[in-house]
Amino acid sequence: MQNVSKMKLLPLYKRLIRVSIQDKARLFTSRQCSSFSDVRVRFAPSPTGHLHLGSLRTALYNYLFTRQHGGKFLLRVEDTDQSRVVPGSVEKCVEMLNWAGIHIDEGPFQGGNVGPYVQSERLALYQEHIKTLLQNGSAYCCFCSARRLELLRKDQARRRETSKYDNCCRGLSKQEVDEKIHKYQENRWPYVVRFKLTPFTDAWHDLVFGDITNNISEIEGDPVLMKSDGFPTYHFASIVDDHLMDISHVIRGVEWQVSTPKHLLLYKAFGWKAPSFAHLPVILNKDGTKLSKRQGDIHIEHLKDAGYYPESLLGLLTSMGSGFTTDSSTTSTLSMQQLIENFDLSLLKRNSTRLEKERIGEYNKVQLQKKIQEVQSREDLIKQLRSQLKHSGFAVSSMPDSYIQHILLWAQDRICKLSDLLSADLLFLWSLPQVQSVNSLPQIIKDKSLSRPTNSEDISRTLQVIQDLSEEELQEKETIARAFEELAKKHDWKYPMLMKTMRISLTGLMIGPPVSEIIQILGKEAALYRIRLMMKHLDTVQGHTAQNQTQALSSEHSTPVSVQISDGVSKKILQQGNGAIVQKGNRITVHCTGILKEQNSKFWSTKDPGQQPFTYKAGVGEVITGWDEGCLTMRQGEVSRITVAGYKGYGKQGFPAWNITPDATLIFEIEILNIR
């Protein structure tokens, strides 16, 4: 937007009468528009910050009204208070309106026949029209200094009177005005133009509140129309603009209702026909306070970025205050076209309404469920969720769409927005339990009096239960639960204690979804893998730590290690590693450290979402599928340090000659930067 300069050097009065021929031509062409009988409404925000829910409600109701009547929706930027203008706020406002489905017909970026649509670019028009009011005696120049006005306010406050201008300069003669203008021109003192308020006792009709009587001259002094910097006040500019833009209906917040008589007097002073007025009931916070632009949680951009859909915001707004032929409880399910068809301004309630922000989650849940159930929108959700996971540091390159779809279908009754799937209580869907969480398990199960699994050998019994379940049985939560009930009964364990132990092993959570659901969600292989990790962790806590094993080795058992890892797509090498191989019974542990690199030597890195060092973090279903020509094959995962349990196998050419028996279990402890 281009702002017109304030023309500081000329005194205001001369600026009012020195309108160029070009300005007059511009004024004439601005009146060439459709007839006044056409419905034309405007949304006129000030570019002072973010669009919030209250402003969106005003824009929405204007939009619904004009679309219902086949009219035009205008955007006008009211930036007369230049000190409060926030750069970029107009562009962001337009972006948010479009996102909400409110499309502008005429405006700063769309153009139109009655522009410019930015008030700071219409100064010549205001100067032309203030001259009209000065000439017909409806306005006058005021020379009162800021000091005098301040003393006046203090005196009125001391006497407990209503604070208002005392109309001191209204009675100045033409000669006195000319003399003061000459004096002020020499000293460059500022002065303003005020409007002569007259008694207004006639009732005027509000399309929402009915007939209103308000004699504003009793409670206000003569208002300023043109400020000393050459910019108009809101009251003057909005009246001139509404007339020149052929606005047929002014639909705005009820806070402007008290000023409407002032505006009607201005229309009368110009000899213009006034538009129809409708004032929307005020929206309050739940505690009864007024909405404020400083409340970040009601900014439309904030809600959009948080993952709420525009339909949810519109549902929240339309469920308050009525205004529709359908029941207010059903408006949240209506499309924009249905809202247009059912809108009725006369049905708006007059009393204020309170904003229940928590209900937006309920509305968003319904919208999210619709998108999950629809094939095309579900594919879009998979892409969005994959992007969010990647941004949060999870490995997604090898994560199949089928798994993400599986999670969406399972979670649709649990979440209100897509990002809820990355909340702390659902991180187990994408990564292994954190060590900090799993560490609580040994303390929980160490007391044998609790009648639950107390060591890795006990927990290993759950492995057999899961392994014995067929694919068909895994589809039935009741069947899975019954299998564990039988296990608990067989070993005299309390079933709830067994479930808590299993839940921590699988998710790291004390409280969460039923264990049978977790196994269904993760799948058999991933569930088995996580339980194996827990078994190893218990062994470590009970004294069989890898550190002790390593210390027992002689130096000849320490050897450089190079392990090639394949994710089925690209080959990645763990290079420059030094490690030790430990064999104890049939268990072989390979300790190695190094730098994981792609073949193109591009380094990968990862950060823990909590910005704290961590040991275990991997993707769902991360398992070793076996040896293949010396390659350790893995699926999914993005880790800083991981302990991986392998299957039985034999040493291959090119690797150290390990004495591996056919039934040996391979345990690899590999510290890497990333696996994708």
Say what the alpha-carbon torsion angle 540, 544, 545, 551 is, to the nearest 10 degrees. 180
Cβ neighbours for 402, distance < 8 A, ≥ 6 positions apart: none
Q: Is the pLDDT of residue 577 over 90?
A: no
pLDDT value at position 437? Answer: 54
Task: Name which residue leads in pLDDT, 332 or 242.
Answer: 242
Which of 338-347, 413-422, 558-567 is predicted with the least confidence, judged by mean pLDDT?
558-567
pLDDT value at position 659? Answer: 32
Angle between helix 524-541 and helix 495-507 axes, rounded to 10 deg: 100
In tens, the pLDDT along 632-653 reads: 333 333 332 333 333 222 223 2
Q: Where are the beta strands (DSSP E) in 379-466?
A: none
pTM across the whole model: 0.72
Q: Is the pLDDT of residue 199 over 50?
A: yes
Structural domains in the chain plus CATH codes: 12-27+35-280 (3.40.50.620), 374-422 (1.10.8), 435-544 (1.10.10.350), 547-671 (no CATH)
Q: Specify whether the CB–CB gap between 370 and 353 falls below 8 A.
A: no
Say which of 6, 164, 293, 390 is annotated catalytic: 293
Q: Specify whether the CB–CB gap between 262 and 219 falls below 8 A.
A: no
Q: What percent of the chain has pLDDT over 90?
A: 46
Mean pLDDT of 115-131: 95
User: Does residue 618 come out as left (phi exceeding 0), alpha (psi in the -120 to 50 range) or beta?
Assistant: beta
In tens, the pLDDT along 204-229 reads: 999 999 999 988 888 899 999 999 88
- At residue 277, the 3 state secondary structure works out as strand
Which candidate, 103, 440, 60, places its Cα nearest to that of 252? 60
In tens, the pLDDT along 524-555 reads: 988 998 888 877 777 665 554 334 433 333 22
What are all long-range contacts of 385-388, with beta carbons under 8 Å and residues at least 24 apart?
385/418, 385/421, 388/418, 388/419, 388/422
Distance between CA atoms of 521 and 347, rounded to whole angstroms? 48
Distance between CA atoms of 212 and 214, rounded to whole angstroms? 7
Q: Specify whether the CB–CB gap between 603 and 597 falls below 8 A.
A: yes
Mean pLDDT of 508-530: 90
Q: Is the pLDDT of residue 73 over 70?
A: yes
Residue 211, number of CB atoms within 10 A of its CB: 9
Q: Specify whether the CB–CB gap between 515 and 502 falls below 8 A.
A: yes
pLDDT value at position 361? Answer: 93
Which candidate, 53, 653, 600, 43, places its Cα nearest to that of 303? 53
C-alpha pair distances (Å), 436 with each of 28, 509, 530, 617: 74, 11, 15, 11
DSSP letter at 42 equals: E
pLDDT value at position 32? Answer: 34
With cut-offs at 50, 70 and 90, classify the pLDDT of residue 608: very low
pLDDT value at position 397? Answer: 79
Which candidate, 565, 535, 542, 553, places its Cα nearest to that of 627? 565
In tens, the pLDDT along 151-164 reads: 999 999 999 988 99
pLDDT value at position 496? Answer: 87
**Residue 595 pairs with which residues in a beta bridge?**
575
Alpha helices per DSSP H over 7-122: 12-17, 21-29, 53-68, 89-99
In tens, the pLDDT along 408-436 reads: 999 999 999 999 999 988 989 998 876 54
- At residue 354, the 3 state secondary structure works out as strand
Strands 353-354 and 283-284, sheet pairing: parallel
pLDDT value at position 636? Answer: 31
Mean pLDDT of 274-278: 96
Distance between CA atoms of 168 and 372, rounded to whole angstroms? 68
Radius of gyration, alpha carbons of the chain: 37
Angle between helix 375-391 and helix 401-411 axes, rounded to 10 deg: 100
DSSP letter at 636 equals: S
pLDDT value at position 112? Answer: 93
Which of 128-137, 142-151, 379-388, 446-455 is predicted with the least confidence, judged by mean pLDDT?
446-455
Of 348-352, 365-369, 460-464, 526-530, give the range with the top mean pLDDT.
365-369
Task: Name which residue leads in pLDDT, 68 or 576.
Answer: 68
- The mean of the pLDDT values for the chain is 75
Q: Is 293 a catalytic residue?
A: yes
Q: Is the pLDDT of residue 5 over 80?
A: no
pLDDT value at position 217? Answer: 86
